[in-house]
């Protein structure tokens, strides 16, 4: 269906119930949260539901513009999958947005039976067939945050300032405030993890940056990450304290839930991180980020413009999104070695000594 005809159908539909289908991942959910205030403004009487992985539900739970979140778990068998599809059908949604674009989300959006079903051009695995139309200018070359914001533009609210809201309870804020106070009120967070090996900058390089934080900024370092990243974070702590034994390094990898992580990242001076979900969470909370992009592109995968320093590898295969390195021999994982610790330290200096730094656009360093 052409987009102009879809707009006409949407305008003639009494939208009382909306399904946002974006089950994962952390960074993508964070970047799409700015659509909730847009949907609330455009459809003030509608109930908005979000289909999301149970593990990520704290990102949306308690949001003032959300009626409910509907949990999704991968690999739980046909009975759980059938129950989810039946749940979506019974809700009788009027508008459904597939922001994920995979076979499973295509089945979800089809199950809603909504008279208006919209997707993005990144749709694959046949998921686009379940939508009435795919929005223009939402292909993979378009930055992720811009792709999601095309929904706002389609709804006529593209000039609205994007807002990202997290519901962080008093207990979680109090926990973060207490921790920051114990560490001396000047704290830099470091996230050394990432799902792909080709995204994981060496721990030895992160250690140099952590020691720089301690010695040149008189700050403490807090390490964050998932339970699976705790061993790597422990190794990083050991390396950092070898270089700066006088420093304070706290390893919280695997010890925080999502609400605590958000409260913590919203309280630190900066975050040094690989291209990862915590990078987007920190940026959405207004925390300056030093982002390290080895096999991915800062333009496509980085946060929206802000007080950030985004550093990219310059090797020939940089920005190709290879989960496994295509090179062999001495060039294997060359992208990880291409970014020097000195570049990250310089970027951190710009953020922590911002007098001469223009914070408007993100600074990209090649």
Q: Output the six-digit token pair for 100.
A: 């994920």
Q: What is the pLDDT of residue 366?
A: 47
Instruction: Answer for the pair 301, 142: CB distance below 8 angstroms, yes or no.
Output: no
Place of tokens 């911002």: 354
Place of tokens 């079903």: 117
Q: Which of 3-12, 74-83, 95-104, 143-152 has the lowest mean pLDDT?
A: 74-83
- Pairing mode, strands 47-53 and 17-21: parallel
Mean of the pLDDT values across residues 288-301?
A: 96
> H-type helices in 135-169, by residue range?
144-154
Task: Quote the CA–CA distance of 66 and 83 in Å, as a whole number.
Answer: 22
Bigger pLDDT: 281 or 328?
Answer: 281
Mean of the pLDDT values across residues 120-134?
A: 97
Mean of the pLDDT values across residues 76-99?
A: 94
Q: Widest CA span of the chain, in angstroms?
A: 67
Task: Quote the CA–CA distance of 86 and 107 in Å, as a whole number.
Answer: 11
Provide the 10 A C-beta neighbour count for residue 335.
Answer: 27
Count Cβ neighbours within 10 Å for each residue of 299-321 and write b for 16 or more, e otherwise: ebbbbbebbbbbbbbebebbbee
Instruction: Answer for the pair 192, 274: CB distance below 8 angstroms, yes or no.
Output: yes
Mean of the pLDDT values across residues 141-166?
A: 96
26 sits in which H/E element: helix 26-32
Task: Give backbone dihedrals phi and psi of 153, rounded to 5 degrees, phi first.
Answer: -65, -40
Q: How confident is the model at residue 50 (pLDDT cuts 50, 70, 90)?
A: very high
Query: Coil, helix or strand for 122?
Result: coil
Q: Which domains does the chain have, with CATH numbers?
A: 3-154 (3.40.50.2000), 170-365 (3.40.50.2000)
Mean of the pLDDT values across residues 324-346?
A: 90
From residue 179, give the alpha-carbon distance in Å to each of 129, 190, 196, 254, 257: 49, 15, 30, 16, 15
Instruction: Answer for the pair 306, 280: CB distance below 8 angstroms, yes or no.
Output: no
- Pairing mode, strands 220-223 and 249-251: parallel
Kindly report each contact of residues 53-60 with a partner whose C-beta sits within 8 Å and lies 24 or more positions away, as own/partner.
Answer: 53/23, 53/24, 56/23, 56/24, 56/25, 56/26, 56/29, 56/258, 58/257, 58/258, 58/259, 59/26, 59/29, 59/30, 59/33, 59/166, 59/258, 60/29, 60/33
Q: What is the pLDDT of residue 355?
A: 58
Task: Quote the CA–CA distance of 269 and 261 in Å, as a whole number.
Answer: 14
Query: Coil, helix or strand for 237?
Result: helix
Give residue-wise pLDDT tens across range 309-318: 999 999 988 8
From residue 159, give the alpha-carbon distance in Å to each of 85, 226, 272: 35, 36, 31
pLDDT value at 340 more than 50: yes
Mean of the pLDDT values across residues 272-298?
A: 96
pLDDT value at 356 more than 80: no
Q: What is the pLDDT of residue 305?
A: 92
Mean of the pLDDT values across residues 49-53?
A: 98
Average pLDDT across the chain, whole number: 94
Instruction: Answer for the pair 118, 35: CB distance below 8 angstroms, yes or no.
Output: no
Q: Which of 81-85, 275-279, 353-357 has the lowest mean pLDDT?
A: 353-357
């Amino acid at each position: 269906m052409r987009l102009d005809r879809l707009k006409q159908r949407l305008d003639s539909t009494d939208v009382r119930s909306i399904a946002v289908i974006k089950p994962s991942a952390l960074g993508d959910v964070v970047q799409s949260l700015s659509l909730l205030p847009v949907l609330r403004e455009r459809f003030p009487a509608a109930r908005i539901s979000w289909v999301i992985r149970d593990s990520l539900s704290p990102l949306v739970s308690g949001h003032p513009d959300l009626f409910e979140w509907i949990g999704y778990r991968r690999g739980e068998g046909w009975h759980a999958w059938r129950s989810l599809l039946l749940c979506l059908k019974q809700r009788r949604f009027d508008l459904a947005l597939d922001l994920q674009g995979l076979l499973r989300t295509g089945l979800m959006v089809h199950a809603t039976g909504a008279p208006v079903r919209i997707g993005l051009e990144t749709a694959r695995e046949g998921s686009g067939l379940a939508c009435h139309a795919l929005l223009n200018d939402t292909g993979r070359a378009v930055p992720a945050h811009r792709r999601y914001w095309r929904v706002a533009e389609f709804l006529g609210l593209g000039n609205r300032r994007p807002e990202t809201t997290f519901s962080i309870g008093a207990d979680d804020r109090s926990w973060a405030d207490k921790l920051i106070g114990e560490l001396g009120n000047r704290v830099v967070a470091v996230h050394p993890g990432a799902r792909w090996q080709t995204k994981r900058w060496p721990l030895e390089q992160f250690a140099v940056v952590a020691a720089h934080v301690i010695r040149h900024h008189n700050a403490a370092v807090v390490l964050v990450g998932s339970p699976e990243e705790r061993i790597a974070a422990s190794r990083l702590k050991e390396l950092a304290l070898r270089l700066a034994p006088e420093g304070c390094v706290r390893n919280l990898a695997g010890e925080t839930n999502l609400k605590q992580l958000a409260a913590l990242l919203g309280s630190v001076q900066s975050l040094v991180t690989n291209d990862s979900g915590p990078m987007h969470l920190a940026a959405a909370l207004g925390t300056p980020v030093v982002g390290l992009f080895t096999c991915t592109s800062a333009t496509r995968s980085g946060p929206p413009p802000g007080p950030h320093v985004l550093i990219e590898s310059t090797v020939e295969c940089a920005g190709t999104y290879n989960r496994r390195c295509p090179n062999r021999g001495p060039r294997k994982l060359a992208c990880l070695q291409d970014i020097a610790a000195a570049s990250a330290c310089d970027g951190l200096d710009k953020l922590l000594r911002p007098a001469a730094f223009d914070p408007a656009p993100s600074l990209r360093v090649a």
